[in-house]
Structure formats: C-alpha cells, structure tokens
Amino acid sequence: MPSYDTLVEAINDLKKRGFDHDFNLEQDRLYCKQLKMHYRPKEFMITEVHRFEGMSDPDDNSVLYAIETSNHDKGVLVDAYGTYSEALSDEMLAKLKASYQQ
C-alpha cells in the first residue's frame, strides 16, 4: 500500500487510480452524491486506510478510506477522527473499525 505525506497527495493519487467518487457517512450507510446511491456496510469494502495527523493541531487529524462498492464503484471517504462516531450505527462503526485492523 502506498504511503503519503499529506491528505491531498493521497486523494489525488487515489483519484488517478480510479477512486473518483466521493462518499459521505450517514448513520447506517454511505452516500455518493455523484451517483445518487446509498451503500449499506455489507455493500462496500474498504481497500485502503490512510491516517493523517495535524502537525500543530490535534483537531486536524483525519482518516482517508479507499472504498469499492459491490457494484464496483470506487471512491474515497474522508473522516476526522471520531467526528461521526456518535451518529453512526453499530454496524457502520464495526465496518470502519475493522479496516484499522487490516
């Protein structure tokens, strides 16, 4: 898996590799505005995870997920550490957490 110095560098490289959609977290699924599609946890897999820590501000920490859906749509999800954790379903939290242990 590639290593990146910045979030922007990682996003740009993933886009070049076909991860060209943007996903957003909802309580129990992902949403892709470009495709107007929702994906439940069983309908996507996380193929890469990249963590970035802010140099001067701990609030700048983020995680970048490279995602492929069951119908082969590929894209990225950017999440600040813990930002959405309270609003997510147990199934979605488990899916995201499992990706850290790969």
Q: Quote the pTM value.
A: 0.86
* Per-domain boundaries in the chain: 7-100
Give per-residue pLDDT as tens, 49-77.
998 876 655 556 889 999 999 999 999 99
pLDDT of amino acid 84: 56
Give per-residue pLDDT as tens, 8-43.
999 999 999 999 999 999 989 999 999 999 999 999
DSSP state of 99: H
pLDDT of amino acid 43: 96
pLDDT of amino acid 70: 96
DSSP state of 74: E
Query: What is the rounded CA–CA span in Å between residue 6 and residue 23?
Result: 19
